[in-house]
Amino acid sequence: MSSILPLSRRIPRIARRSTLPLSQRWSTSISQRPGSDRVRFPGAVNSKFTTEMSFINPQDMPSIPTYRVLDSDGVLVDKDRKPLGVSNEEILVWYKNMLTVSIMDIIMFEAQRQGRLSFYIVSAGEEGISIGSAAALTPDDVVFAQYRETGVFQQRGFTLKNFMSQLFANKNDNGYGRNMPVHYGCDYPRTHTISSTLATQIPHASGAAYALKLQSLQNPDTPRRIVACYFGEGAASEGDFHAGLNIASTRSCPVVFLCRNNGYAISTPTLEQYRGDGIASRGIGYGIDTIRVDGNDIFAVYEAMAAARALALSDGGKPVLIEAMSYRVSHHSTSDDSFAYRARVEVEDWKRRDNPIIRLRKYLENQGLWNEDLERSAREGIRAEILREFGAAEREKKPEIRMAFEGVYDEVTDEARGQMGELKRILETYPEEYDLRAFERGIEGL
Amino acid sequence: MLRLHGRSYSTAPTPSARLNLPIDYKSTPLLHHTSTSLSNAFDLPSSSTSKSMNLYQAINAALRTALSSSSKVMLFGEDVAFGGVFRCSMDLQTEFGSERVFNTPLTEQGIVGFAIGAAAEGMKPVAEIQFADYVFPAFDQIVNEAAKFRYREGRTGVNVGGMVIRMPCGAVGHGALYHSQSPEALFAHIPGLQVVIPRSPSQAKGLLLASIFENNNPVVFMEPKVLYRAAVEHVPNEYYTIPLNKAEVLKPGNDLTMISYGQPLYLCSAAIAAAEKALGASVELIDLRTIYPWDRETVLDSVKKTGRAVVVHESMINYGVGAEVAATIQDGAFLRLEAPVKRVAGWSTHTGLTYEKLILPDVARIYDAIKQTLEY
């Protein structure tokens, strides 16, 4: 059989890269040396020959451990550990941010039940993951999130007015009233607008991280930035997860992937989602630095993200995977009744047993930084502020009708302009068939 | 994936509105409100029994019939085991076991690829995609594999007939960008696929059973999710099928032919009632039922009779089903046309949350199209 291409073109040449230790690479040659005791070609990873036939059974291996700093009583597990390196003031900000997300969740879930907004998703039990991880980012870092990371927005400075404007799709909403509730987005600190589709943001994060890496190479004066990418363990079954991690690994992208493993993808428990050692085990397969953390422990999450961020910027850039474990104590969304597929007692057990907010509160109380009076006044203040912004946002006008057509392309096409004219003719011909009072400037907004 | 609440926010826009009123599914002539009209409609013996049910219950009944009729039938997808997010697979795992009814991991390309493999080896897989908006990771499997399987295999004769990909589609009032889409035109562009959209519970059961048992091609079966709870009618209890690739004249008429499918048929029916009353015209209404390959003969025969045609669908007008139907009509009935074929469809934009009612076809726009076409 003759070869179609000359040999030199069929086998890619492996160049030396300074970003990886030499021991992991083939210096100049990729040919198999006569008498070698190892398989040596690209992808064979220096594998030793063996005469012992044995299949690797993952169940024989120990599970990847879970990093924690605080136990469920809010006490440091390792008394001799180094200091946390975070001020008490900052920890109190985290705590109040967790309270804010939690109180907003309760109010908005109830508002949806009353029909005042069409949809909502809470993040109960996962506040520690989103706030602790976002606390380790800089405002210049870029975030791609899923839809259960309200705490990331809260920690990055998204205001209650921002939240409420989006939830009520009013004229102050960054998304021009186009998206379902909880699909927040923010220009700076750059936190890309949420898409309902699962896992699509994962390869975006890789590409964005590569862009940041190139920009930093081209302009060494710019601050070095990473991308943080959030998703759930269910989303990690999508092809985009595998594509995103693999390409980030091969292109050495400075991105931290943070998987929130909450045990459920709507009704599907993790047992029917995967059989391996969680999501963390997959990072290893892609050659990615990986850690599993206790998601109810905000200190563990913060420290893991801070270390992951430093790792992601080391060696010229590389991806890191964090798997944060925290049981989903909430329903999937306002459209879901999770007691149709899991026992109420299971949920109540988890709620009672552990919770990132209560755990941090215990720590703060142990330190003498918090007490029942502070708790009550903080809750009352947060609640009042949320309700004030809720009322203001609910009363606000919707954006102008033209925003239905704008933004599809950079400029409205001739076709769409014609359709806007036709819609206007219909609205003028049949005024009694349309109520346009909610829209800013009514029919004039078209 | 997100899930939608079943409630409807629809109310009359103003007290004097007479066109854009909420569809009254309890009185629409498109549903079998009693069992008496059923045996004629489906050519069933007069002894057959029926039960009143909504669309998700009819899908559930069809799947139950299919699973008990043949051990080759399998049912799987995301959250199928507990009954599915729209309750279409309720109790089926309990009744038929987790070997044939099961949850899959969250991967649409995996679900469809898995179905193709199972069909190629003789099973009849019914794969559920949770929302049509989420089918796109499976596009490669559908377009390059399911559609081309028979053609590629050639003399081996292997094909993936008997596989059905079910998915809820269409707008519900608050689904925005990712819980509203109707991508039938994208699938109808692909030779090798059959694209079916039922309009009602009884149609859904007959068409779904035909897709599984009486058809040897891969079927994309799109269920208008707004009808899951809203549309209630009598559905025969026994096994019956409705032929694919066959349109149905729902209402005869002489002056204009209206062609649609799925949920907008209810809007068409209301617009026709208003137009016939106000304009004194008689309008024929056709349900395509199968979007591709479609029943050109029924449509052309009708337009040759009426001389006027309006096509209505929910998804975007650009390169949509209406373009294909309109082009076929001008090609096959040009000399009989008294007016240009008109299309009423979603505007060429995304389904922005706040703007849904202004973007998608409504009774007023359909009424206006009838009026303009008659007065041309």
Whether the Cβ atoms of residue A235 and residue A192 lie closer than 8 Å to each other: no
Contact, B268 vs B260, CB < 8 A?
yes
Positions of E strands within chain B: 50-54, 73-77, 101-103, 124-128, 164-169, 194-196, 219-224, 232-236, 248-251, 256-260, 283-287, 290-292, 309-316, 342-346
In the block, tokens 């870029």 appear at: A142
Mean of pLDDT over chain B:
96
Question: CA-to-CA distance for B339 and A141, rounded, in angstroms?
Answer: 59
Q: What is the mean pLDDT of residues B21-43?
A: 92
Q: Mean pLDDT throughout B321-350?
A: 98
Residue among A45, A160, A183 at smallest CA distance from A97: A160
Strand runs labelled E in A141-204:
142-144
For range B131-149, the mean pLDDT: 98
Residue A195 near chain B (CB below 8 Å):
yes
- Regions of chain A with pLDDT less than 70: 1-31, 43-44
Answer for the pair B256, B310: CB distance below 8 angstroms, yes or no. Answer: yes
Which residues in A lie closer than 8 A to residue B348 (C-beta atoms)? 408, 413, 415-416, 419
Please say if A196 is a catalytic residue.
Answer: yes
Measured between alpha carbons, how far is B290 from A299 in angstroms, rounded to an integer?
57
Contacts of B85 in chain A (CB under 8 A): 266-267, 335-336
What pLDDT was estimated at residue A203?
98
pLDDT given at position B7: 41
pLDDT at A298 (0 to 100): 98
Mean pLDDT along residues B205-234: 98
Count of other CB atoms within 10 angstroms of residue A349: 13
Q: What is the structure's pLDDT at A17?
A: 44
**Candidates A332, A399, A439; nearest CB to B3:** A332
* Spacing of C-alpha A52 from chain mean position: 43
Q: What is the pLDDT of residue A326?
A: 92
Average pLDDT over residues B109-138: 98
Q: What's the pLDDT score for residue B41?
A: 87
Q: What is the pLDDT at residue A9?
A: 46
φ/ψ of A289, rounded to 5, equals -60, 130
pLDDT of residue B45: 85
The β-bridge relationship of strands B256-260 and B101-103 is: unpaired
Residue B4's pLDDT band, with cuts at 50, 70 and 90, is very low
Sort out which chain B residues have CB atoms less than 8 A from A434's CB and list them.
13-14, 20, 357-358, 364
Position B47 scores a pLDDT of: 84
- CA–CA dist A303, B368 (Å, integer): 63
Alpha-carbon distance of B280 to A439, in angstroms, equals 36
pLDDT of residue B10: 54
Structural domains of chain A sorted by starting position, each given as residue range(s) with its CATH number in brackets? 2-54 (no CATH), 88-395 (3.40.50.970), 401-445 (no CATH)
pLDDT at B2: 45
A residues 367..396 contacting B (CB < 8 A): none
Contact A266 B85 (CB under 8 A): yes
Q: Cβ of A29 under 8 Å from any chain B Cβ?
A: no
Helices and strands of chain A, counted as H and E runs: 13, 10
Residues of B annotated as catalytic are 108, 179
pLDDT band at B307 (very low <50, low <70, confident <90, very high): very high
Structural contact between residues B271 and B173, judged by C-beta atoms closer than 8 angstroms? no
Which one of the listed residues A29, A47, A63, A110 is annotated catalytic? A110
